[in-house]
Chain A
Amino acid sequence: MKPNAEPISLEPAHALELLRGMLRIRRFEEACAELYAAQKIRGFLHLYIGEEAAAVGVVQALTGEDAVVATYREHGHALARGVPAGAIMAEMYGRLEGTSRGRGGSMHLFSAAQRFYGGNAIVGGGLPLAVGLALADHLQRHRRVTACFFGEGAVAEGEFHESLNLAALWELPVLFCCENNLYAMGTALARSESETDLCLKAASYEIPAWPVDAMDVLAVEDAARRAALAIRGGDGPVFLELQTYRFRAHSMYDPQLYRTKEEVEAWKARDPIPAFAKRLRALGLLADADEERLEREVAEEVAAAVAFAEAGTFEPVADLERFVYSERTS
């Protein structure tokens, strides 16, 4: 049923890039957690740790022309998409040099250059935007894909159903990436949905829907490539249920009363980063020296991002009201 995609290249360079992509997110967010404790980062901070394979796998199927719409747990997507780590960190520091001049913070990263459309903090609110971006591409005859990330909690929102229906009805090029980490904040899927098979919901709108083990970056990449190929071929949207798990708290103040330590530990045993590294070692694609180099380079990138944020400036208060409306050149 799935269209044939080009086989995933497991050449050493690509394999190491996948590993690096996940490692960047992990180490960046570990730094974020520390900086939050140090009160350098304020507001809400939703960490993606544990879910890295989802974003890294999906972006492999995208070109620079494609668009990404994400949620408030989007540091990983922004990094994977190529938004500079320094600009992301500076945003969390509330600095002018941040992706959004310090106006958005952790939940509202944007980059027009990378066609990264947020950073949307209303659950389900990004789906209609993705449908519209895809509609614009359809009307302009662009063979682009809009990848729309959202959690399984969004499935309970009306906007999920309205958006899937509209995208399918109009055969729009949307890649719906549902990151099912089992909990909408603290509410387990089975406690909020009468039907817990998410693919069945998508299929009810005549959208091809595939469950994917999103603790396996190669499985995600493979599914995303097949989906993107079908979408670019004009077949309309595809829905991926990316089965994953959030290792950390929902945000920063969360005693995690809704799940057991055993459950968390069981998922951590499937951590996508060591699992992938082990696989590469077994294939002879990763030597100790490679891993040490990757860790060192990632650590340098994170340190540079923090230094960039620390050195950042604050937007002048005089500019507070800029960009409520566009600035006219005339």
Chain B
Amino acid sequence: MTEAAARTTYREAMREALREALARDPRVFLMGEDVGRYGGCFAVSRGLLEEFGPERVRDTPLSESAFVGAGIGAALGGMRPIVEIMTVNFSLLALDQIVNNAATLLHMSGGQLNVPLVIRMTTGAGRQLAAQHSHSLEGWYAHVPGLRIVAPATLDDARGMLWTALQDPDPVLIFEHGSLYGMEGELSGGGAAVDIERAAVRRAGRDVTLVTYGGTLGKTLEAAATLASDGIEAEVIDLRSLRPLDAETVLASVRRTHRAVVVDEGWRSGSLAAEVCARIAEQAFYELDAPPARVCSAEVPMPYARHLEEAALPQAAGVVAAVREVMGRRG
């Protein structure tokens, strides 16, 4: 009975996090497209309108720039808004507000105006939604000083990151990979708030460090299991926070394993994976037994057809192959 009660999904964990935030802090409100009557495009906010009312669960017009900017303004005005952008693809329509306002106001005002805003959005591919609904652009956002970028990849992080993000005095963007909402399991932390600073070792290993985050954590763990049956013990690091990047956890692992493969659903050129590899090369070059490797998405707009999409995305088999390469074992 107790075990059954503890079982949850990523979606439900996120919903509980929203419910808790709305219940605990009267300054918190949720706004975005279809978060109310529709229940959220991914059903994350279902039931919250009925529970908290239309003042605090606000359906917006399809005006990403205005409602994200309004979130910034409301944060300046003393509220703790949670803005949901349906997907990262649509966040491009709000890029001006996120990059020119949310990220700059504190520094540009000489420290006067902090923006305690949380923006949630779905990211990633893998559901045959084609090029305009499959972007993984969290790496772009992680380029921008003034923003904090997190990517919950586990149930505990889906449940616990939001409250921590809301306590942050500065803008936090939460990227939820669209393939994770149905993920089932148990909360090990009982739903407690978690830090949004540190990377986490999801599997310990001595032979190679696999660095990933978000939607590719599952595939990377799958690859690690395959490698283990072949006698290669991979350590899997979930970055969790993409900005600031917890390079120390990555470097500490690489100094033990002497090999690194970075798995990132973003495009290879100018990617977050590129940044992680650069940090490793800059700070642990002489510890390496092989060049750092990357497994990223093919540099194409994401195609619709399943076989093409699968070919374009990082897969466990590709991670296994990349690891064998850096281990000097081919085939």
Contacts and interface: CB of A to CB of B under 8 A. Distances in A.
Contact of A129 (B55, B76, B110): B76
A9 interface: no
Interface in B68-116: 68-79, 81, 96-97, 100-101, 105-114
Q: Max chain B CB contacts within 10 Å: which of A119, A125, A169, A327?
A: A125
B175 interface: no
A136 interface: yes
A112 B113 contact: yes
B107 A162 contact: no
A139 B29 contact: yes
A162 B67 CA distance: 8
A4 interface: no
A163 B76 contact: no
Nearest to A159: B65
A128 B79 contact: no
Interface residues of A, number: 45
Given A129-B76, A139-B55, A325-B146, A103 B101 contact: no
B132 interface: no
Contacts, number: 147
B74 A100 contact: no
A100 B109 CA distance: 5
Given A163-B66, A166-B70, 14 more contacts: A103-B110, A110-B108, A129-B72, A131-B69, A132-B75, A133-B74, A139-B29, A140-B79, A162-B67, A323-B107, A325-B148, A325-B169, A326-B106, A327-B111
B97 A128 contact: yes
Interface of B: 29, 55, 58, 60-61, 63, 65-79, 81, 96-97, 100-101, 105-114, 145-146, 148, 169-170
A325 B66 contact: no
A165 B67 CA distance: 11
26 contacts: A99-B110, A100-B108, A100-B112, A104-B109, A118-B109, A119-B109, A127-B66, A128-B66, A128-B69, A128-B73, A131-B73, A132-B69, A132-B71, A132-B73, A132-B76, A135-B70, A136-B74, A140-B78, A165-B66, A166-B63, A322-B111, A323-B106, A325-B106, A325-B148, A325-B169, A326-B106
